[in-house]
């Protein structure tokens, strides 16, 4: 077993239509590279995982607990556990990295 992983060669998981994730699952958290297709909408939802992220490319319109923002590369967010949130990718799509704690064990259904 190795501590190193190559996300470029990992099989992407379709979490929502138009949203794929390449996760690294650790004991205490999941780190994921996420790609959203242009104009994809992830409907409002909530989960037990705190979700921290940073936008690397593209744009997002993110709503967290009723607060809405347009995000550009370099912008970040924190979604506390159980807080409703939704997102829409801009016309060029988006690439981001998110950390989920505790790990996203529910993603195993997508693998």
pLDDT given for residue 6 in this prediction: 86
Nearest to 58 by CA among 77, 40, 81, 31: 40
Q: Which two structure tokens, joined as six digits, stand for 77? A: 């967010």
Nearest to 110 by CA among 43, 30, 46: 30
Q: How far apart are CA 17 and CA 31, in angstroms?
A: 20
Q: How far apart are CA 3 and CA 60, in angstroms?
A: 32
Residue 5 has pLDDT above 90, yes or no: no
pLDDT given for residue 109 in this prediction: 78
pLDDT given for residue 111 in this prediction: 62
Q: How far apart are CA 37 and CA 25, in angstroms?
A: 23
């Amino acid at each position: 077993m190795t501590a190193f992983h190559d996300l470029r060669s990992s099989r992407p998981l379709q979490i929502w239509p138009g949203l794929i994730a390449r996760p690294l699952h650790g004991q205490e958290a999941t780190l994921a590279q996420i790609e959203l297709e242009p104009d994809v909408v992830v409907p409002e939802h909530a989960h037990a995982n705190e979700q921290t992220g940073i936008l690397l490319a593209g744009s997002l319109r993110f709503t967290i607990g009723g607060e809405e923002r347009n995000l550009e590369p370099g912008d970040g967010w924190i979604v506390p556990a159980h807080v409703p949130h939704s997102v829409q990718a801009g016309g060029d799509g988006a690439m981001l990295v998110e950390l989920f704690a505790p790990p996203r064990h529910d993603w195993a259904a997508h693998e």
